[in-house]
Chain A
């Protein structure tokens, strides 16, 4: 075997401070309490992070309101665009630093943070910068909403920030954003970038903290809009809190996407698509292709190929440039993945993982596939949010559609076939916000993203993404 020598990306480029304050009104300010963020690959404590309480959130919302009334809503649209372009360029200039920081705090492989996350972050800012002075071509009489309260998850910390902040600012809103408690570092680096770009104070405010901070933010009377990406459970709570307040709401929640493989699929690329669908970002992807629906006539051949391919996945140090699968983001998430995998075994599905050595410290889970899964199994119903694939079979296109749609979720789906007419037939019937044909997990700022049913509502990205931030 051709062994690849370790090829670690240098950590020297990032400068993690021992502690971070809240970013309010253009300044970093202290809070009464704090929490720690750790490197999930080593359990090393990275920094002490300020925890915003209700009073801090109050101050942040007030700052955002002042910035909205006093500066941002009065600025000519082309001026707003200039700031966004400037931010996009700084992100590109600091891309290596942001990628390393993201991998350290989140556990994702540097190959992904470097080649996927950070380039998409910059692309998002460039894209919405371009819209800022052309809004009237998207909607009639575009007017901003005011102050947006935004809560984002830990799976794509900086990318979700970009999905939230770029369209909000382009449309003329100001924001208070709460990053996830396990991954605050790149959001705080973004706060520095806002200063570097001379963004007027208060236009972007970052309040770090856990669930309580998020609750204080989404329930705050001073905001006009709530945008949330995260679990369906929390999404429900937020919907209840916002109901009747007149505040606008968009939710991007969980998923249990079907990746449908027909017998005439390009099999080698389908295998890549399956791997990319479920093992990308350790499966911490709301639109992950976590249910593989494969036509029975090619199931055995496809699974053989898939297992052979899975044996080549390199699991380990997120900073190694050759790592394919990194660390699970937190102990709690690891526990959830373990629990659901054990449930899968108990339910009678067959569990398989390639032989792979996992590091002693940190949070790790080997890429896993369950075969012989039935629609009634929990591992076919519930979102695992980890590198665990459930394999089901079908006989006809009708059955594939039925099974694919038979889920409370509806965020994404994949269709693999060489037959163009079948792709269109399937796409018409799949109840999912995104349907990928002969590919999976492809993102582009110009393409709207969002869900059906319990996967939420509202769209992010593209022209559609503007509507969430305009009256």
Chain B
């Protein structure tokens, strides 16, 4: 755990981890004007990405997908099917890149690890009483520990939104630090659940809080709350990781999740990355898209670009 805290205290002078100090720091961040942020996101969404740029964007987007199944009805069979899809998204075309990771509940991590052995695809596990985060810290730690032991390379934790909204920033911070300590080698993605934070000021503060507590990635949503990932929310988070790196030298990734279903949506997000955080973030190492149905739309658009015609939905596998 030392790492994360060291980064924040050394490079953000005067910052200690008590609630009063955190509050002073987070509320000292520049505000976000809602109208302006939404306008900027909408304007970037009008970028016209065609031909070679579109082809490049589609392959990049496929390689950034965290292919996700998070249902009560998930079974080992369902997870194996998803893993197969992630390794070869289009069985008829070997030039299609593989996805970045398969994202599952913690009890199915072992199954996914087995299925993906040697593929280079990560296994991401949601943890910490996903999606609500309403459980005792012990349970959250145990949940995380078990997922890491089973071989998860990435942990997607949720923050305690109740504590955040109550102003108990130290509780949120310390919980992230504690989970980070359980992660070992695994990367920690911190889910802010922006749909419950509501304001962009909160999104910016929660982003900084998570980064200062040691997050490797900040993630918009669980996908269980509406609205999930929206362009302005991703924009504000991209500004946060950009500013955080400028200040501390440490780069943190961003993962919008939930609600990104079409190639158009995915490309809009890539444009946002390109023109906000910058091209350094345009790799699966620093930008992920949490999605399930998006992948088939990307494949469909990819085939349209290479063959010139649309193939029907039955030419793409449902997993």
Contacts and interface: CB of A to CB of B under 8 A. Distances in A.
Interface of A: 1-5, 7, 111, 115, 264-269, 272-273, 312, 321-322, 418, 438-439
Interface of B: 30-33, 35-37, 39-40, 46-54, 56-57, 60, 239, 270-271, 274-275, 279, 282
Contacts of A268: 30, 32, 36-37, 40, 239
Contact of A265 (B30, B50, B57, B274): B30
A5 B52 contact: yes
Q: Please list the 5 inter-chain residue pairs (A to B) with the smallest Cβ-Cβ separation, ordered nearest first.
A: A269-B36, A7-B48, A321-B48, A266-B33, A5-B53
Contact of A5 (B39, B46, B50, B279): B50
Chief secondary structure at chain A's binding surface: loop
Contacts of A267: 30
Contact of B275 (A3, A5, A265, A312): A312
Nearest to B275: A312
Nearest to B37: A269
A269 B32 contact: yes
Contact of B31 (A3, A115, A264, A439): A264
A264 B27 CA distance: 11
A2 B53 contact: yes
Contacts of A321: 46-48
Task: Choose among B33, B47, B54, B57 the residue with the greatest number of A CB atoms under 10 Å from its CB.
Answer: B33
Given A264-B31, A265-B30, A321-B46, A5 B54 contact: yes
9 contacts: A2-B274, A3-B53, A3-B56, A5-B49, A115-B46, A268-B30, A272-B40, A438-B36, A439-B35
Given A7-B48, A264-B30, A322-B48, 13 more contacts: A4-B47, A5-B49, A111-B46, A264-B31, A266-B31, A266-B32, A266-B33, A268-B36, A268-B37, A268-B40, A418-B31, A418-B33, A438-B36
Nearest to A272: B40
Contacts of A1: 274, 279
Contacts of B274: 1-2
A4 B49 contact: yes
Nearest to A110: B48
B37 A2 contact: no
Contacts of B47: 4, 321-322
Nearest to B240: A268
A269 B41 CA distance: 11
A4 B275 contact: no
Contacts of A439: 35-36
A30 B174 CA distance: 81
A465 to B, nearest CB: 25
A269 B51 CA distance: 32
A322 B47 CA distance: 5
Contacts of B56: 2-3
